[in-house]
Amino acid sequence: MRRVLVANRGEIALRAVQVCRQLGLESVAVYSSADANSSHRWAADHAICIGPPQPKSSYLNAGALVETAVAMKCDAIYPGYGFLAENHVFAERSKQADLTFIGPDSECIARMGDKVTARRTAAALGIPVVPGSEQGFRSAEAAKSASAGIGFPLLLKASGGGGGRGMRVVDHPDDFVAQFEQASAEALAAFSNAEVYLERFFRQVRHIEIQVFGDTHGNYVHLGERDCSVQRRHQKLVEEAPSPALDSETRRQMAEAAVALIAALKYVNAGTVEFIYDPSSGKFFFIEMNTRIQVEHPVTEMVTGTDLVLEQFRVAAGERLSFGSTFSKGRSAIEFRINAEDATRDFQPSPGTLKRWRPPNGRDIRVDSHAYENYAVPPYYDSMLAKLVVSGSDRASCVETAKSALARFQVSGLTTTVGFHEQLLQRPEFAHAEVHTRWIEENFQMAAD
């Protein structure tokens, strides 16, 4: 690889440009007209406007991205996370254009991107899966018939996507048809696939994901788990490693299941295998696989001392993994997503201009961000401004470092979730790690400043 098109925006695009510089590669940034002042554009060696603000006409325009890469004489494409990162058609089109796709191959993306197929694949390997339907549905009536064999409450999930879109909890059969139609419509709008499948819904579980990596030489490893249980409407807010909920045996079994899955797939590059864990029974269940780097990957980097984005580039170039699964995981790390949202108004987006932006720094503190003072935050994209990641010898020290870092995080001009995280850290449930995936919605009341 010599020249890489970075097919994304924001923090992850900036990170990819920095890795290109580390490896001596040229970088080509793409940006929409709304991102003309984005820092990833300035940081790259070359930058091309890819289209208007709307994602479907810019960052989701696979044809334009591939054509731009070819026109700019690139030989690789880096998708990052979000947008087209898990789009198997984009990966295949990149390959057909003789571009190295810095991620898994299109077959793996397609197989794991279809949540029903992913469940079947895991189940065939003896990995426990959440009880649910054996197929997806586009008809509410057909899906309702299948629901009788699963029981309520049910979780409706888009077959072709994730990130909380196309998901609905159904508590009673009388609500099923209306909720199904809403989930299906949302799935169609988000993923161009209206199919929805059914899972049994567990009210108080933890969300655990295993970071995995494979290369073209038959090496398949895990880098431990991340606990992503602090969520709101299936959107992650805080992630940490190691999980404070797992015992050593469950942690081992979960990691071995994840590695067995990627070995069976002959999976190449970074990914995560996602589970829910029921503390009351001690059981875990596979829910899906994300065939990309995750937003929260810095948590694992802080615990293991690796650079996962750089490793994505190395592996895509045909090199062997530079690590195994023998890390000394004696440290802890927690990531807090700093979003342009107003938590006192049901996390309403808060675009605008950053009048002041002074992130904290210091030992055991890392801030990944594309934001800067006087940056105009556009309303068209994800609201994340930064990832504040803290590390320490144990979870308690991480929490203390986080309190200090958040108190020193200076931002004005728009509302962010800094205050939300400060209040979260004061809650005894968080301090004692007694949370679950619906804890924010059911128990956390945000107080206005």
Domains of the chain, with CATH numbers?
3-102 (3.40.50.20), 131-200 (3.30.1490.20), 206-443 (3.30.470.20)
CA dist list (Å): 162 to 115, 189, 351: 9, 13, 24
Residue (of 96, 69, 89, 73) closest to 8 by Cα position: 69
Which position among 206, 292, 314, 331 bears the catalytic label? 292
Is residue 448 scored above 70 in pLDDT?
A: no
pLDDT digits (tens, 9 = 90+) for 180-216: 999 999 988 888 789 998 988 887 899 999 999 999 9
pLDDT band at 220 (very low <50, low <70, confident <90, very high): very high
Question: Angle at Cα 248 formed by Cα 243 and Cα 252, nearest 5°?
Answer: 95
Position 57, amino acid: S
Query: Does the annotation mark 438 as catalytic?
Result: no
pLDDT at 329 > cutoff 70:
no
Contact partners, residue 42, CB within 8 Å, separation at least 6: none
Mark residue 346 as left, alpha or beta (left: phi above 0; alpha: psi -120 to 50; beta: remaining). left
Residues ≥6 apart with Cβ < 8 Å to 97? 66, 69, 70
Contact 99, 69 (CB under 8 A): yes
Rounded-to-integer distance, Cα 81 and Cα 8, Å: 8
Give SS3 for 316.
helix
Task: Render pLDDT for 23-78 as a digit per residue (tens, 0 to 9).
Answer: 999 999 999 999 999 999 999 999 999 999 999 999 999 999 999 999 999 999 99
Amino acid identity, residue 251? Answer: R
**pTM for this entry:** 0.91
Contact 372, 304 (CB under 8 A): no
Sign of dihedral through CA atoms 24, 291, 402, 382?
positive
The answer to whether 182 and 123 have CB atoms below 8 angstroms apart is: no
Q: Are strands 196-200 and 206-214 parallel, antiparallel or unpaired?
A: unpaired
Question: What are the structure tokens assigned to 415, written together?
Answer: 């509302």
pLDDT at 120: 92
Interval 1-17 mean pLDDT: 98
pLDDT tops 60 at residue 380: yes
H helices, E strands: number in the chain: 15, 22
